[in-house]
Amino acid sequence: MTDTAVSREPSSSLEALFAPVHSQTAFEETVERLGTAIKLGLLPPGTRLPAERELCARLGIARSTLRQALVALGQSGHLHATRGRGGGTFVADPLPPAQPPSPRVLADWRETCDQRMAVEVGIAVLAAARAEPAMVDALEDLVVTIDSLLDDFTAYRPLDVRFHVGLAELTGSAQLVKQMTETQGAMSALISHIAHPPEVLDSANDQHRRLVIALRRHDEAAAARVMTEHLRGTEHVLAGLLPRG
Amino acid sequence: MTDTAVSREPSSSLEALFAPVHSQTAFEETVERLGTAIKLGLLPPGTRLPAERELCARLGIARSTLRQALVALGQSGHLHATRGRGGGTFVADPLPPAQPPSPRVLADWRETCDQRMAVEVGIAVLAAARAEPAMVDALEDLVVTIDSLLDDFTAYRPLDVRFHVGLAELTGSAQLVKQMTETQGAMSALISHIAHPPEVLDSANDQHRRLVIALRRHDEAAAARVMTEHLRGTEHVLAGLLPRG
DNA sequence: CCTTGAAGGTTGGATCAGCAGACCTTTTCC
DNA sequence: GGAAAAGGTCTGCTGATCCAACCTTCAAGG
């Protein structure tokens, strides 16, 4: 069949070129967008979503399609709806327990980490270049808040996400913010089911703090270095606690 | 509508959450994948694509859908097909002249550059950490080859792309390779229509060379620094030559 | 009380992308 | 001259999505 033919070592890029095309439907993308936003705490429990008629307009999809997504998220326990005037669709409180990572997700956790490394380091550099004092202050406040949550991972994690997304917002690029939330979503699927001793969180937040300092000094090199170290930390924890480390 | 600042304070991440959902069809994705691969020189002129029946199987789409894409790329002059045994679908030689960037593309060229910065800096760091001598040698050969093409941008550019994609391959992550090619495709749309004096290309390739040195020494910090500088170079050129710099 | 308005819930038909697979036409190799 | 391998064509089917009404619930307010 396809022996050594055209490409032996000529780049895995050609294999990727002809890799399966996976067209995501509007329904799927909607479930994923809202689902990860909820799981990440970007939409805190109790939040009320915009009315269906408004939301479908904003998302540029039909109401029936949006509905499918809302029903799906309702059945998984992430949303619940109340009818009548003053009703609406709300983020569940409390949220359902997180699902354990699927074998698919576990299988390429290293790819996920690589992806994260690429996105976050680049963002850290850009953020360092552009950081405005006011926005850095906001991040620093976050770090202080997080310091008091080191023994409660379920409270810690949403603020951690907020920190990283905030970093992306610092770049002023909507694209990068989107990529950061996607990346954080992928990471959450991995880390929400492993142990996080306070010492580890403490060390992580210390890196947050050093990152803030680098941002304030517009020190791109330091930002890159601290971020790399920060992510390697997570990677080592995962390597130790996931099957086949 | 769109205020002065990027966003006031209400977490631009929430706006992005409800942004329009743009589900790409299999047809569109196929055209884009093959189209950018051709424009980037990943599939050099004269290359023969796999037979339709095999290709649609690999892409996981119906033959009729693949066909739509091939016809579209045929009409735009990027592909031509010959029938009968020994026939096939070939990349056009010569390629049609590149289309000038659309207003849409021009409008957010800064976003494109930011995107590139994020992806490439992260990849540079990962690549520096993992570079294996043999693969670095291949990159170095590329740099030498490029040195002889500084006065012919149409010959220079494909090898430039090859260098950056090769860097991504060094990370061993298929995802990152894919992202790199996408990013390079977006950049090509911007830079293929502006002047590239030999001095600029010379300086760029010198940065390639310094990057190779950093890779060989596994010096992540240097890799990040050189890459940042490299991309800023392109950014300045664009800022000078595009409308509303 | 009971009307009204704002919300979620339901239904049915139209459209279109994509799939599946058989069949046709051209060309080269044996 | 026939078999094989390629692109080119046709037809019917399924499922996702859209559109546009219409129904049901229920709190606010006259």
Over range B19-33, report the average pLDDT.
Answer: 95
Contact between residue A112 and residue B174 where contact means Cβ atoms under 8 Å apart: no
Computed over every residue of chain A, the mean pLDDT equals 92
**Residue A17 near residue A24, CB atoms below 8 Å:** no
Q: What confidence score (pLDDT) does residue B16 get?
A: 86
How is residue B9 annotated by DSSP? S
Q: CB of A238 within 8 A of CB of A113?
A: yes
Residues of A in contact with B25 (CB under 8 A): 23
Q: Which residue is nearest nucleotide C26, judged by alpha carbon to C1' distance?
A: B84
Choose, out of B173, B226, B236, the residue to mutate when testing the contact with A (most A CBs < 10 Å).
B173
Are residues A23 and B26, on separate chains, in Cβ contact within 8 Å?
Answer: yes
Give the closest-approach CA distance of A179 to chain B in angstroms. Answer: 10
At residue B5, does pLDDT exceed 70? no
Instruction: Give how far B79 is from chain A: nearest CA, Å.
Output: 16
Cβ contact A225 with chain D strand, < 7 A: no
Give, in order, the Cα–Cα distances in Å from B115 to each of A16, A28, A172: 21, 25, 11
Distance CA B97, CA B81 (A): 19
C-alpha span between A207 and A226 (Å, rounded): 6
Is the distance between the Cβ of B52 and the closest atom of strand D smaller than 7 Å? yes
Measured at the alpha carbon of residue B100, what is the angle toward residues B95 and B105, in degrees to the nearest 5? Answer: 120
Query: What DSSP designation does A9 have?
Result: S
Q: Report the residue of chain B nearest A168, measured CA to CA.
A: B13
Rounded Cα distance, B164 and B159, in Å: 9
Bridge-based pairing state of the strands A88-91 and B88-91 = unpaired
Amino acid residing at B218? H
- pTM reported for the whole predicted model: 0.91
Q: Does A32 touch chain B (CB under 8 A)?
A: no
Q: What residues have CB less than 8 Å from B65, skipping those under 6 apart?
A: B26, B27, B30, B56
Which of B50, B121, B175 is nearest residue A114 as measured by Cβ atoms? B175
Q: Between B13, B50, B125, which is nearest A42 by CB?
A: B13
Question: What DSSP state is assigned to residue A42?
Answer: S
B69 CB-to-strand D distance under 7 Å? no
Q: Which of B64, B62, B76 is nearest to B34 (CA)?
A: B76
Burial of B32 (0-12, 13-18, 19+ CB in 10 A): middle
Exposure string over A18-51, b if 16+ CB within 10 A, otherwise e: beebebeebbbbbbebbbbbbbbbbbeeebebee
pLDDT tens per residue across span B95-105 = 999 999 999 99
Q: Given CB atoms, is B57 within the 8 Å cutoff of chain A? A: no
Dig out the tokens for A173 from the structure: 């690029």
Give the 3-state secondary structure of residue A90: strand
Taking only the tens place, the pLDDT of each residue in B148-193 is: 999 999 999 999 999 999 999 999 999 999 999 999 999 999 999 8
**Quick one: average pLDDT of B14-37?**
94
CB–CB contact B21 A13 (8 Å) = no
- Our CA dihedral for B66, B71, B72, B74, rounded to 10 degrees, sits at 130
- Condensed to tens digits (0 to 9), the pLDDT of residues A99-152 reads 999 999 999 999 999 999 999 999 999 999 999 999 999 999 999 999 999 999
Mean pLDDT of B130-135: 95
Judge whether A60 is closer than 8 Å to chain B, CB to CB: yes
